Structure 1
């Protein structure tokens, strides 16, 4: 991975379900996709599996390959691998970003994000939230509700990072 996906970006989703990928994220997607798609543009891998998730998780080509390799390292036939394959591989889609830096959100992705029929009549707003080696794509209202619901326990987040160990 060339760089971490950082920041949060609010982007308009038009009536045709098109949304612009933030330029900072496009640069990472481009750097992480040496082969590019059929039209020569970087690809984006969108995971819409997982019942409890209220967002779509998005990976660069390199990030998606790393995720697949981690799943392939799991024991074949194990319930954990079966679930990981179903929710993270089967329930995903690969898109090529167009030359204007946009994608069209597929129907399954729109459903996961909670965009209903109202998208066709008035559009909507999405939030791109950086998460180091991936980013999460939310409908604006869902993202803001999750932020409002966060339990602020006065813990300094740097102390949480200090507890982490780095694995290969």
Structure 2
């Protein structure tokens, strides 16, 4: 993938379910859409996941193509493939960013995560997660509870060393 998402932003949601996609995020959707060119609308895939998801996940076309290829390589009929097809194909919507840099979130997706006046975007590498600001605050607390206690001044990148040891 050419680019990755970085950062977070809180944005307003209007009565029609439109949210402005910050320019730094739009550039990633544009660069990761093989069919995009100036004047065209960048495409994306919104994954709304299973009933326990409290967020939406916005994938670039390139990222979704990678996921699709990985799923297609799995044994047909396996429980794992069926689960991933259900989430990333069945619980997903293809959409685009409009000419004003906005994304229209369908009502059923807004209702699923309780989105009303504001949305919180947080980068997840090849995707963006969309939360209500309140739900994200709860998620951040949950994530922090999973992190081991560090000595003051410790480098959080030290966690990468433990991940590579368990993989290899």
Unaligned runs of 5+ in 1: none
TM-score by length of 1: 0.86
Q: Match for 2:149 among 154, 160, 164?
A: 154
Query: Could you list the per-position Cα deviations for residues 62-121 of structure 1 after superposition, in whole angstroms to 9, with x for gaps in the alignment?
Result: 011111111111110011111110111111001110111101101232123213xxx4xx
SS in 2 for 1:146: helix
CA distance in 1 between counterparts of 2:87 and 2:111 reads 15
After TM superposition, the runs of 4+ consecutive aligned structure 1 residues lying more than 3 A away are none
What is the CA-CA distance between 1:135 and the residue it aligns to?
A: 1.4
Count of residues in correspondence between the two structures: 158
The answer to whether the 8 Å contact 2:4/2:126 transfers is yes
TM-score for the superposition, normalised by structure 2: 0.86
Cα distance in 2 for partners of 1:96, 1:46 equals 10
State the distance in 1 between where 2:138 and 2:49 align: 21
Structure 2: 5+ residue runs without aligned partners?
none
CA contact (8 A) 1:71 1:81 kept: yes
Shift of 1:58: 1.1
Contact (CA 8 Å) 1:32, 1:61: kept in 2 or not?
yes
**Could you tell me how far 1:51 is from its partner in structure 2?**
2.7
